[in-house]
Structure 1
Amino acid sequence: MPNPDTPRPPPSPLQHTVPEVSDMAAADRPPYGVSQRPRRRRRRLVVTGVVVAAVVVAAGGVTAYETGRLADWLGDGDAAPVADTVPGYTAPAAPTPGVVARPARVGAGDAAAVRSALAEPLEDSDLFDLRAVVAPLSGPALLDVGHGTSMPASTLKLLTTTAALETLGPDHTFATRVVAGPRHGIVLVGGGDPFLEGARPPTGVAHDDASLQALAFKTARQLGANGTRSVRLSYDDSLFTGPRVNPHWPATYIPDDVVSPITALWADEGRNPSGYGRVADPPATAAAIFATYLRQDGVRVAPAVGQATARAGAPELARVTSPPLADIVERILLVSDNEGAEVLARQVGLAVDGEGSFAGGVSGVRTTLTRLGIDLDGATIEDGSGLSRDDRVAAETLVDVLQLASSPAHADLRSVISGLPVAAYDGSLGDRFDDSPGRGYVRAKTGTLHGTSALAGLSTDARGRVLVFAFVSNHVNGADTLDTRAALDRLASALATCRC
């Protein structure tokens, strides 16, 4: 057992077990086609009696983490600076560690030790209006500072992704289809795939990746088999209803390219194919991209491409399917993907209430979490991403959700844990915790908006116990944003050195 007074060496990135990771694309479009993503893996659980993403490694007491997938950068929106922005980079290839992992110790924890470990960092003057909760993997809190709800920023994504996994299941996929339409027509039907791409990944050669280019290839092949060489194209984005822009978002979000209009059909999350900014009408742009690829594959497409509703039971010509929801959740949490979270919220609304709108999504998430035993009394939820400044959630709720996702009784929620970024290694924590005792021992969801900085996740302490925490600081002055973020990191790092 390491001496808590002796600094532990920071774990090398090569001590993390990492799935295959592709190079980042130069453009803003995230390279996430099926041909590029790792093979779907079973999440092997190394903890006896409890399931967590952290394990204590016998050699040197180093903690190994199963990491999620890398993706292109996405920030939290109106943060200044945007702490959740992750520059594209190539993650190191990592062999399976040669040491034998042993289970993390599970215990109730020592409340006095937790209070003692956090006493000094809690006094930091850069922590404004702080809510701080620390708990074991199961059971009541060991520390609870501050009361009431606060603006969660992107830590709200923990609630959205948990509800999506519970409602739809980790193996659920979303299909984008082409069906027959009237008068030699075809209809491109959006299925709410959050990461549908325009072009195939540059390194991909398969024709079954989730891209419009792959869908066009399949469609052209089927049309050719039917003897059809000329078509009229329409698109159907009717799966989602209501406004495309959340009324609880600041009016500047769309013109300032903070987030795309949320639709059931888009390419590259509504980003402009040029690589700069976002398109005004994502479904129409997606249809135009699809038409371009159809023409390249030898199909004559009429110039006019309009909106339509596919008729029920129309014969299907082709489809592409998203990665499993578990993989999608990992990506959303790893890079704090706003658009992806909003699409999942609407998918939850469809599954629970049959309403794929912002309001339906919020209702579906609340219903699902309440059914799981999460107390949302006093909470205000207006979206799925945490971009709304009207969102209010208690830090205790964030801890409850993380405990739930770690529970052996809810294995289907495990991607909420495995998708959390690892301190100083990847995702939105890739540039944090450098030269910190929390490096490699903390994994957490970040959250940043003007005036708010949050961190919620898990830490392995000096005894090998796993602690769950949520730290949320509101009313942060803009000039103090980075200092507040660093103060939160110090809180989490103190848990890593605590013999709790």
Structure 2
Amino acid sequence: MRIEPTGEQHPAPATTGSEEPPIAATEAPPRRRRKWPWIAAVLVVLLVLGGGAFAAVQPAVANRLELPWAPNKPKGDPPAPLAVNRQLQPPGPSAPSPTPAGVEAALKGPAGAAALGTLSGSVIDPATGTALWAKDANKPLTPASTTKVLTVAAALLALDPGHQISTKVVQGADPGTAIVVAGGDPTINSLPAGKDSIYPGSAHLDDLVKQVMEASGGKIEQVQLDLSVYQGDGIGPGWAPEDAPSTYAAAVEPVMLDGGRSSATDEKSMRVANPARGFAEKFASKLGASAGGTAKAPEGAKVLGEVKSAPLTELISNVLNHSDNLMGDALARQTALATGEPASFQGGAKATLDVLKKNGFNLDGVELSDGSGLSVDNRIPAKVLAEVLAVAAAPDGKDPRTAKLRPLLGDLSVAGGSSGRLVTRYTSGPEAAGRGWVRAKTGTLSGVNTLAGVVLDKDGHLLVFALMSLGSESDGARSALDAVVAELRGCGCR
């Protein structure tokens, strides 16, 4: 039985175990929309400035740098905008570099912890591309939600960073019929205008209602859905029967309110059984119409209204930081549509692999069945996860892939941050040394625990890691994985 609300949880083959715990009840309110310069600025502050990087989240440093969240930030006119160079600069030439021998010596103890079960992993220096440590790194293992690293990487490479998902309403053959042409947006906001759901910047249903009322003169009698953009099942291969609907997943359908949740502001609320139908009923009710079935929109039909999702660079925060399974599968299907593949689980998986291969990544051993990581059929070697993150973290900015993949880093959860999957981790014991210095994507299924991300070592070197533990109990394995990464933070590894 699953207890993880937004994560990845169901039995993996021949293993059992506990699940990733829910995010703390004291989690901050829904996130405000973030703009691209903000992401770039955060990356510069967090990853460029040597040893003080992640400390920028601390009040004393925030005050000193006059960051927006500083408790004692002076009042006054804001400074003129600064031009931001999206490069990650390596430490100065005098800073000693970590070595494979140093990393091997440092990780020998924590990587051998019994709580890790069978461990595979990879550590890479993104400044040089040097593999600093590897343990069965080429072995394909169940990745759980670290699958989302590949899903997001492919979307960033295939789509424009400003890509938005459209939902249109057109007039049917009968002027009294409105047909919703679904485009794949699961984030439409059911709350009144001006109020954020758990998807900041999402389109509001009320906006669409207003447009349709004005365009139709208020004469809509029936609402139908054109769901033809998606193909195949809404339940993924390798999912457990209890996965959808649940508190962490819903059937993947091309239009819905609030990710199919029963509450627009509660990330962990139960999902509805038929999200698209729920959208149609709510929309029809606001129009004073009835909800009909499905229909294909006529060619060249009059457009009565259109709303769009937040841009891609904002959607990925829900996928990476909050491990939104539905959004992960929705992004995989956007990649499929952009590359001419069917918008299905199979099409999304194929498109993800094709895009990454086209961009030069070696995907030997990778098998994907979904974009969220809920499927126990997925297989990814730790080396592949690390190599994708290493390109995102490369410092010189000359590789065109790096600029496109950079948002991967900004939306990984921060150890000990105010929101996301690492809120309750890195709080005590050896792993506490990584608090504030680690950004990572988590992954949890029964008997499977994974972690992939970046850590800044004490000498100011950014290191990339991917760790995968099989046959392990969740609580113990998570602490043990965190201890491995915390050792990278403190060792210098020379």
Q: TM-score range by the shorter chain?
A: 0.7 to 0.9
What letter corresponds to residue 351 of structure 1 in structure 2?
A: A
Matched, 1:493 2:486: yes
1:95 aligns with 2:70: yes
Asked if residue 342 in structure 1 is aligned to residue 329 in structure 2, the reply is yes
Gapped runs of 5+ residues in structure 1? 1-21, 25-30, 68-91, 296-300
Q: Which runs of no fewer than 5 residues in structure 2 stay unpaired?
A: 1-26, 59-66, 74-83
Q: CA deviation at 1:103?
A: 4.7
Q: In structure 2, what is the Cα distance between the partners aligned to 1:312 and 1:388? A: 37
1:47-82 Cα deviation digits (max 9, x unpaired): 8xxx89523367xx3535699xxxxxxxxxxxxxxx
AA aligned to 1:293 is K
Which runs of structure 2 are paired with 1:36-435 in the superposition (5 Å)?
37-41=33-37, 43-44=39-40, 54-56=47-49, 61=52, 63-64=54-55, 94-95=69-70, 103-105=89-91, 109-137=98-126, 138-147=128-137, 148-184=139-175, 185-200=177-192, 203=195, 210-224=203-217, 228-254=218-244, 256-272=246-262, 277-295=270-288, 301=289, 303-407=290-394, 408=397, 409=399, 410=401, 411-425=403-417, 426-435=419-428
1:455 pairs with one of 451, 465, 475: 451
Q: 1:356 to 1:445 in 2, by over 3 A?
A: same
Do the aligned residues in 2 keep the contact of 1:108 with 1:136 (CA within 8 Å)?
A: no
Please say if residues 327 and 415 of structure 1, whose CA atoms lie closer than 8 Å, have aligned partners that are also in contact.
Answer: no
Distance 2:273 2:283 in 1: 17
Q: Matched residues in 1 for 2:291 and 2:381: separation?
A: 50
Query: Is residue 135–residue 468 contact of structure 1 (8 Å, CA) maintained in 2?
Result: yes
After TM superposition, the score normalised by the length of structure 2 is 0.79
| Structure 1 residues 394 and 96, CA gap change in structure 2 (3 angstroms) | farther
Q: CA deviation at 1:155?
A: 0.5
Contact 1:152 1:386 in 2 (8 A): yes
In structure 2, C-alpha distance between the alignment counterparts of 1:223 and 1:66, rounded to whole Å? 50
Shift of 1:194: 3.2
Q: 1:220-277, CA deviations, whole angstroms, 9 ceiling, x for partnerless residues?
A: 22323xxx43432211111111111113212232255542010111111122359752
Cα distance 1:256–1:334, how it changes in 2: closer, same or farther (>3 A)? closer
Deviates more, 1:487-496 or 1:270-279: 270-279
C-alpha offsets along residues 354-406 of structure 1, whole Å, 9 cap, x if unaligned?
Answer: 31011100110010011111111122111101111111110000001101222
Distance 2:255 2:436 in 1: 38
Instruction: Identify if the C-alpha distance between structure 1 residues 392 and 52 changes in structure 2 by more than 3 Å, giving closer, same or farther.
Output: farther
Question: Does structure 2 retain, via aligned residues, the 8 Å contact 1:197–1:267?
Answer: yes
Q: CA deviation at 1:294?
A: 2.2
The one-letter amino acid of 1:451's match is G
State the AA in 2 paired with 1:152.
P
Tell me the TM-score normalized by structure 1.
0.78
SS in structure 1 of the partner of residue 186 of structure 2: coil
Instruction: Name the CA shift for 1:420/1:282 in 2 (closer, same or farther; >3 Å).
Output: same
Decide whether the 8 Å contact of 2:421 with 2:442 is kept in 1. yes
For the residue of structure 1 that corresponds to 2:259, the secondary structure is: helix
Whether the 8 Å CA contact 2:284–2:291 is kept in 1: the answer is no
Task: Sort the Cα spacing of 1:304 and 1:396 in 2 relative to 1 into closer, same or farther, 3 A.
Answer: closer
Structure 2 residue aligned with 1:9: none
| In structure 1, C-alpha distance between the alignment counterparts of 2:380 and 2:37, rounded to whole Å | 33
Q: 1:209 to 1:118 in 2, by over 3 A?
A: closer
Instruction: Choose 37-46 or 364-373, whichever is displaced more.
Output: 37-46
Cα distance 1:439–1:201, how it changes in 2: closer, same or farther (>3 A)?
Answer: farther
Please report how far the alpha carbon of residue 332 of structure 1 lies from its aligned counterpart in structure 2 after TM superposition.
1.0
State the Cα RMSD in Å.
2.9
The one-letter amino acid paired with 2:416 is: A
Conserved in 2, the CA contact under 8 Å of 1:57 and 1:63?
no
- Which SS does the other structure have where 1:445 is aligned? strand
Task: Find the aligned partners of 1:95 and 1:219 in 2 and give their Cα distance.
Answer: 44
Q: What amino acid is aligned across from residue 325 of structure 1 in structure 2?
A: L
2:463 alignment partner in structure 1 = 467
- Return closer, same or farther for 1:450/1:327 CA change in 2, 3 Å cut-off: same
| Alpha-carbon offset, residue 456 of structure 1 | 0.5
Deviates more, 1:239-248 or 1:485-494: 239-248
| Letter of the 2:204 counterpart | S
What SS class does the counterpart of residue 141 from structure 1 fall into? strand
Structure 2 vs 1, CA of residues 144 and 366 (structure 1 numbering), >3 Å: closer, same or farther? same
Offset of residue 289 of structure 1: 1.0
Decide whether the 8 Å contact of 1:420 with 1:443 is kept in 2: yes
User: Do the aligned residues in 1 keep the contact of 2:229 with 2:254 (CA within 8 Å)?
Assistant: yes
Aligned residue for 1:437?
433
CA separation of 1:23/1:439 partners in 2, compared to 1, >3 Å: closer, same or farther?
closer
